[in-house]
Structure 1
Amino acid sequence: MAVKLNLCCVFFILTAATVKPQVNPETCRYPLGMTGGQIQDEDISASSQWSESTAARFGRLDFDTGDGDGAWCPDIMSEPGGFKEYLQVDLRSLHFITLVGTQGRHADGMGNEFAQRYRIKYSRDGGSWMGWHDRMGNQVVEGNKNTYDVVLKDLEPPIVARFVRFMPVTDPSSIVCMRVELYGCEWLDGLVSYSIPDGHQMIYRGLDVFFNDSVYDGATAQRLTKGLGQLTDGAWGLDDFLHSHVPGAWPGYDYVGWSNKTFPKGYVEVVFDFDHIRNFTSMKVHCSNMFSRGVRLFRQATCFFRSESEWEPDPMTFRPSAEPLSQSGRFVTVPLGDRTASSIKCRFHFGDQWLLFSEVAFQSGSAVYNTSLGPHKQGQPKKSLLGEDPTHKVDDSNTKILIGCLVAIIAILLTVIVIILWRQVWQKMLEKASRRWLDDELTARLAAQTQAFSFLRSSQSSEDGSGSGSISTYERIYPACADYQEPSRLIRKLPEFAECAEHLKSGTSSRAGVGSDGAPHYAEADIISLQESSDSGSITAVNMNLFAGSDLTLREFPKEKLTFKEKLGEGQFGEVHLCEAEDMQDFLGEDTLTEGSSESPLLVAVKMLREDANNNARNDFLKEIRIMSRLRDPNIVRLLAVCVDTDPLCMITEYMENGDLNQFLCSLRLKTLTGGEADQQEGSDEVSSVKLLGMAVQVASGMKYLSSLNFVHRDLATRNCLVGKNDTIKIADFGMSRNLYRGDYFRIQGRAVLPIRWMSWESILLGKFTMASDVWAFGVTLWEILTLCKEQPYSHLSDEQVIENTGEFFRNQGKQVYLPQPQCCPDRIYVDLMLSCWRRNAKERPSFQEIHAQLTESR
């Protein structure tokens, strides 16, 4: 007998543990399709729109269709308290919604509209609308603080709805824009409302205990009608009804309850209405059983069914078989005999003084689970695979419950064993792994990033450079920040950057040459593999197509007047040579001044296209010539002449007599200031901090010019600055081609190199290159200048540690490492300028105009 009793207890515990409400809010958090596109454009509407480019269909969180202005914006924002403007989403079926996300309008950096606060309205039938409020009665949701960050808000309590409206709230009359997403899962019960008597108040030992349905969203007169509330919020009450899941809630909050003193017939009547006729298997009711306080499970449940207008005369009656000994709250399963109905009326008879319910769920034959994570669309078949979603309803069969428990226990044990074995194997592998393996792993992880420094043109590219390229971005080692979007999507929307569209068409891939007529990658900072081509057509036609209609004034320079001096290294298109050009000054004419113009021959740098280059490479080479020919600034290296009549094609640029700035500064030492007249004198190998700042001003001036043309250099450093007479500084792009500076670049499988010690965190992690990333590199260049290039930036860190440090900039937890303040650097330069160049938020970094002005004032 004792064994039998124990088995019954075990069975009851298993049954109670298996029975769950229809949803679990902790796991019912799937995106419902605004971001992923499962929600169609026709299911998104709005009260109004500012323009066609800000229509409702653009109100998708973190989603860019390639057109539009990136968000929904109402036509005219209503006055405070009006709440007339809304963005509406139709989910096509009832859903249990636990979370919402909002975002402002970024508009490729041009927009600055977002909703700081908003309200939510929802409807289950499209006719009756309810306003959401939290468990404390607050209706306004705190929204966004900027245009790009996604703000997620838990709906406490969650809602059951098909239609949801987001209604911006503003203090003054203003324009706001929104992008939204809904999170939850499909509402399988089909329950659209329940009707119950209003809950009662208990006085327990002088303590007021309220059992009202505080989140009910229907009519709340003497009887609650046409709504849903705590009995369907997915949270069941604690064993002790005086305590609650919700912090700060009043005693009895989790339960809806009644006293038998106001029900002379001895039962409470509850009516449940559903979306359509269903075949009901069972009903599960979570009850309190704290009988020491006069609360017990119901002793009998009598349920009536209605499919049409009248209630059927023969009800289903259920009596719990045995009184449980425990005072714990529990689910009680009421069999409904496979009855068909669209409404159910149940009478729950008191078992003691009080009857307390916290959750009700139904099993019905038509509630088939849809395995799609997004909302179900009309016309799409549903599937009924058990166990693919935490909201799936389990069968009430006792045998299946036991089998399910055993299978679950076995699966858990097997999973634990597999995890333990896997960890042991993995630990052994890590112990045996060599340093080379670690390097290879890091190389493989970054391999996808190489195309951020390479350009691969398809063989179908036309001669005007408009062919489609290989689009590739960095592998996201860290999650992409909210303001990051693909440049290929950003640039084509901005009419003022129309000339740059072709350049950035290939996403974040980096080119040392040009991407279009208006937006070259000025720095020759990558090694690319050009596609092979069997077409060796004449270059004359290509040249004519390239230079036709341009303002190019370059002339052909005789190659026989070039004398080889030194091979600088391998560049993007081929070899880079240091040469002497005989009679170059006469060739250029008296109006053209160059460094060393009084001398003959003139020292020049010659970029030569490799002879086996295909037509695509030739086009790229000639386009770089065209772009560089338009650069006219005292602090930018000039293109002097070309040699394009015969192979190999060449471009001839300035190369000043004092070489690059890195080597120039390395040969100097900082002048010690002793006061008086000595401060005004410098030895041949000495330089003052004032002169160093003057050099920095020249670099800033050159970058200010490039930024005015929307040029992004991508490899600004002292090695890419040349020094001429009177310490003239000019920005160039030869640094990477020189073997001397190979240690400044992080090589990935020999295919590309990254100047990671000069790169901003978003360039390394996101492949994002902007004027702001050039500002970051300028801060490092300024640090080089003020330290006389005596050491490499972050010399105490390995390349892997430098990459990890960029991750700390992304995480922004105060663990990032900055370059230290140079000895001769004034505090105002280091704090106000240098550190500002390395701000995490690219928008907060100064412009080159501001940098140039600040440095000029500090001299």
Structure 2
Amino acid sequence: MEFKVIRLFVLFVATAKAQVNPEVCRYPLGMTGGQIQDEDISASSYWSESTAAKFGRQLLFHFYFSVSLCGQISLPERSSHCFYLFFFRLDIGGGDGAWCPDIMSEPHGLKEYLQVDLRSLHFITLVGTQGRHADGMGNEFAQRYRIKYSRDGSNWVSWQDRKGQQVIEGNRNAYDVVLKDLEPPIIARYVRFMPVTDHSMIVCMRVELYGCEWLDGLVSYNIPDGQQMIYRDLEVSFNDSVYDGASAEGLTKGLGQLTDGTWGLDDFLHSHIYGVWPGYDYVGWSNRTFPKGYVEMIFDFDHVRNFTSMKVHSSNMFSRGVRVFRQVTCFFRSDSEWEPGPVTFRPTPDRVSQRARFVTVTLGDRTAKTIKCRFHFNDVWMLFSEVAFQSGSAVYNTSIGPGKHPKNTLPVDDPTHKVDDSNTRILIGCLVAIIAILSAIIVIMLWRQVWQKMLEKASRRLLDDDLTARLAIQNRAFSFRHSSLSSDSGSTSNSTYERIYPLCADYQEPSRLIRKLPEFANSTENLKSSSLCTAATASGSDGAPHYAEADIISLQESSDSSITAVNMSPFTGTDPAMREFPREKLSFKEKLGEGQFGEVHLCEAEGMQDFLDEDLSTEEISKSPLLVAVKTLREDANKNARNDFLKEIRIMSRLRDPNIVRLLAVCVDTDLLWMITEYMENGDLNQFLCNLRLNEAPDEDKPEQEEEKGDSISYIKLISMAVQIASGMKYLASLNFVHRDLATRNCLVGKNYTIRIADFGMSRNLYKGDYYRIQGRAVLPIRWMSWESILLGKFTMASDVWAFGVTLWEILTLCKEQPYSQLSDEQVIENTGEFFRDKGKQVYLPKPPCCPDTVYNDLMLTCWRRNAKQRPSFQEMHAQLQESMSA
């Protein structure tokens, strides 16, 4: 009885928010723990009674306890929340038991299977498999397998990933448990594991399913086929690509993207998922093909339910002709006839914010097994990414008449669930003891962390005070001598980099490295290192500070007057990049990104031609508005942030190279601080190349203009882009600048394939997946970083060389996939440990198909040498790439 009360409480809480979060819905469903009964496990065949289906359970308990510092307790394999992860492994039996089919399946057939009946619909996000080692006497496991699933036991669907692959890589030995994310997840009651192997190998399997109960009860939805939008010559497809039903005339008897737990971004051209087409997250329709002015959807449920509301996630980017629906009318059916009196709902129109949002439609406690909703257009397009229903957990009384609603209905137990009430008190006592032990461990670890941070801050304060005192003495000495060169004073702000490995003897805190600049444009002496990627305004969209946020030393004036820090006065000189630009001549077009201290906007600037340098190419620039990027500082930014913003302006104004993005002008006449930089008309290099294909066999007799088609590019042009990036980095290296975030996303493309290096990538939601969060604070582009940058916190020109090798790999693969796409973020970090150990186990990026052996072996691999001193310089790589173009 106690267990039932707890279960009813959990169901009540879940009903209040019957919306699945795939990151949290990762609970073991009972193959290991025994909640799934033996009679619910079946198989097509088995060797003997000792290898029957009921032995297909994993024999190792795997407890995943994640205790969040944010006050949450969950059981995911991996979570994006801030938590400490404790992993316990308990062996409860020998290694004999496993399911072993009698007849092996064909290499491409699907005959043998192990079937699990979950007794109700579940949202399944993860599966685990294990082999049979029989205490060292056997070595049977499934190297590959497929999955089929069903919601009713008769219609079976083959699972496939978002790229259409059905085969899942399984085990490599008989001992380890291999967990595989189902992306997309599935909604099913019955699941079949189907090994794929040849006759030369015996297969045995133990399995576990992870997920949670599907509280919506939605069995299928019927909708029209998604349509295609042409936006600025870009094909945007709004089809339901993971729908598992029929698709003859519309989509029927299946589920898909509207129930996968993934919500679309504000900009429907972008996606949470790497490497998919524009519009992937949304299913959408145009009013031009619906003369009645509405789209009709039908939702079928597992049984009669009492519905309270429906939540629809919709895009509202009205600048592109997309709005939330104007009205929705829902009809209800409990048996064969639609009930009279539909429910009509009109959402409040929003003509200000273009953010995507959930619209909650009140259904008025209507009872039904099928719901038909008609969504009326409010603009040219209507886009949905998720639909969820809130209802009673179970309503089995179907005798209620049409239009009547049940009174005082409470959730009741599903009779198909079998609950063992024996030893309940013992189980609860064990759980309480485990929680108490975990709480004690957490308190001890937190206390140790607090104590270590106090000691670390004390030691840093001593070092900062010593550094400040030394710089102050030098400043007074230089001021006394009226020197033409002066030195900068240090910053004392805390580092934004979190160590993930023990402190090494040669560790250097990134924000403590003193970065210097030449004091005069014609001076080449007294160079000091700095970072191009400073920028509080280039922080991540989720509010975390930029991983390479630098404490730039105050620039000093070398005049007869006393030394002064950067202030408003330097912007009144003749340097065009420091001239004030009229704010009213800026027209904001699109927000590129948002950070902790500011935003980056794409704008058109009228009259910017008068602010350009003579060394800027202006023969192709007309009198029309110029496309620029504007970095803005928030009004509520503190004094330190304002000073850093002004220092960044001063630094960028000194950069003069055709392959480095140029600061054009500033707006600092009021408290609102803006800086205006170049922005190339073709956007960033990553998106530019991603939409192209390689022209593998260009006709040498054709003119160069005819060789490059609109959708293709040659190998020579790709190397030409790499040459320009190497040239820009060679210039930065000559000034001892360290970029820290070199990648194709941070390179802009202009006319005639002109490339200029920038630092906008971190601030864009599109590239959020390229950065990895460390301990909830710092975010790092670990797939582009050298091993010493990740493990030791060292950022040097040699680490930029490493990143250049990855960038060159991106270019030659046309940015079709993320570096190390087959590895998780944790595996990438583990791989850097292999580089440190240098035992020959480290994994390198593979050679791109179009890349010659000489470029891969003599250039790329040399960029990734363990010894930073053995890596080539940018000057050497620039010369080598130029030579490869002429070869």
TM-score (norm 1): 0.42
TM-score (norm 2): 0.41
